[in-house]
Amino acid sequence: MTPVAGFRTDIIIASIVAVLAAVLLGGTAYVINRRIGTQVPAVGTLDAYTTKGGLGPSNASDFYYSSQEIPLLAQVKDTSGNPVADAALIFKINGPPRSNITLTKNTQTNATGYATMTITAPNNNWPPETVLGTWNVVATTEITGVQVTDSMAFEVKSPPSPYIDVYNDRGGVGLTKPSQPYRLNETIQLIAEVNNGTSPVGSQLVTFTVYRPNGTIYSSTQGTSNASGIATDLLRISITEPIGTWRIIATVRFQDQVLIDALAFECLPADQ
């Protein structure tokens, strides 16, 4: 190429080569600005992510549980960083390798350059290998006639099981954990926490059943969980009752299943 007065042909050649290479590779096209040593998008950028992460090129999102709604988002910008409105965008979603799940969803960016849609991971009634594992999303659009893509992965996990945990004001936090001892005629605060596996559940009717050391029932009372998932009751074991290992069984019916937890503690003679 014959040099032209006032122009740096080496910069022009390097820029053309960089753009062609990017287009052939199917990624975002970049111009190499050799004067300042930075990369400037030639056509713009696309960033796909979820509400749990994935911002940035090919970054992964945090996990979701099966049966949970998964919002997919993308933003399209031009070379100046301005939002691109009305850009046609395709989300291609692939489930775990053994699932054979492939979804293709079409959408369009709004006035602020954002596109969004929601998918739901299948529930546990599906075989686990078709649901649980790494899912991959590839978003594709065109900016000034050039195809631009971004990929993003997230994991789908089995949701934790709901539970009830019964304890008292002297310990026993954790499933089937015992507490410190009490004496006959002492007041014992009974506490039960109802949780769906990820957060507390209120307005649940909890039954506290108290068993003597010989296995007979001493009392059975009920309380309703508050917004923090906590139900409480007070227990006082009569001075005429036997010493030994007493047990509290807390039960609650939640989502058509009965949740149970047990708490044991030693009952000592009353102070004389």
Distance separating alpha carbons of residues 138 and 72, to the nearest angstrom: 11
User: Three-state DSSP class for 189?
Assistant: strand
Per-residue pLDDT of the chain (272 residues; tens, 9 = 90+): 444 444 344 443 444 344 333 333 334 444 333 334 444 456 899 999 999 999 999 999 999 998 889 999 999 999 999 999 999 999 999 999 888 889 999 999 999 999 999 998 877 667 777 789 999 999 999 998 899 999 999 999 988 899 999 999 999 999 999 999 999 999 999 999 999 998 999 999 999 999 999 999 999 999 999 999 999 999 999 999 999 999 999 999 999 999 999 999 999 999 85
**Domain spans, the chain:** 1-42, 44-157, 163-268
Topology alike, domains 44-157 and 163-268: yes
Q: Do 50 and 154 form a contact (C-beta atoms < 8 A)?
A: yes
**Class in CATH terms, 44-157:** mainly beta
| In the chain, beta strands by DSSP E | 30-33, 38-41, 45-50, 64-65, 69-77, 88-94, 102-108, 114-120, 133-143, 146-157, 163-168, 182-183, 187-195, 205-211, 217-224, 230-236, 244-254, 257-268
- From CA 169, how far away is CA 114, in angstroms rounded? 52
Q: Give the span between the Cα atoms of 30 and 39, in whole angstroms.
A: 6
Burial (Cβ within 10 Å: 0-12, 13-18, ≥19) of residue 208: buried
Q: Name residues whose C-beta falls within 8 Å of residue 168's C-beta, 6 or more positions apart in sequence.
A: 179, 188, 189, 190, 191, 248, 263, 265
Sign of CA dihedral 86, 121, 128, 154: positive
CATH number of 163-268: 2.60.40.1930
**What pLDDT sits at residue 40?**
45
Residue 159: predicted pLDDT: 85
Neighbouring CB atoms inside 10 A of 120's CB total: 11
pLDDT given for residue 98 in this prediction: 82
pLDDT at 8: 45
Return the pLDDT at 67.
85
pLDDT of residue 18: 42
Q: Which residues contact 194 (CB under 8 A, 6 or more apart)?
A: 162, 164, 200, 201, 202, 204, 206, 225, 229, 230, 231, 252, 254, 259
Output the pLDDT for position 41. Answer: 53
What's the pLDDT score for residue 24? 36
**Confidence (pLDDT) at 131:** 86
Tell me the CA distances in angstroms from 192 to 164, 166, 224, 262, 266, one per residue in order: 7, 4, 10, 10, 19
CB contact set of 124 (below 8 Å; sequence gap of 6+): 66, 67, 131, 158, 159
pLDDT at position 35: 38
